[in-house]
Amino acid sequence: MSDNRADLSRVPVRSLILQCSDDVIAPVEVGKYVHENVPGSELVLMRATGHCPNLSAPEETISAIKKFL
């Protein structure tokens, strides 16, 4: 339950933000906020739903990571 919003602008590396299309824990607005506040970040809005796309949509997750790398 920590709040690390102030740290986002200090992320020193290129970052990939994977945002599921329907996530009750972290809605799309959260992914957009993180993207807007992490310099050099890339936001991918996934078709996957839920909060753990690595479990619910592993192929889509792997594809997004490979494209980023």
pLDDT tens column, 2-58: 899 999 999 999 999 999 999 999 999 999 999 999 999 999 999 999 999 999 999
Domain boundaries, the chain: 5-68
The rounded Cα 17 to chain-centroid distance in angstroms is 3
Query: Residue 3 has what pLDDT?
Result: 92
Query: Residue 1 has what pLDDT?
Result: 67
Q: Two tokens at 62? A: 């792997």
Beta strand residue intervals within 2-63, DSSP E: 15-22, 41-49
Q: Cα-Cα-Cα-Cα dihedral of 6, 14, 47, 7, to 10°?
A: -10
Is pTM beyond 0.95? Reply is no
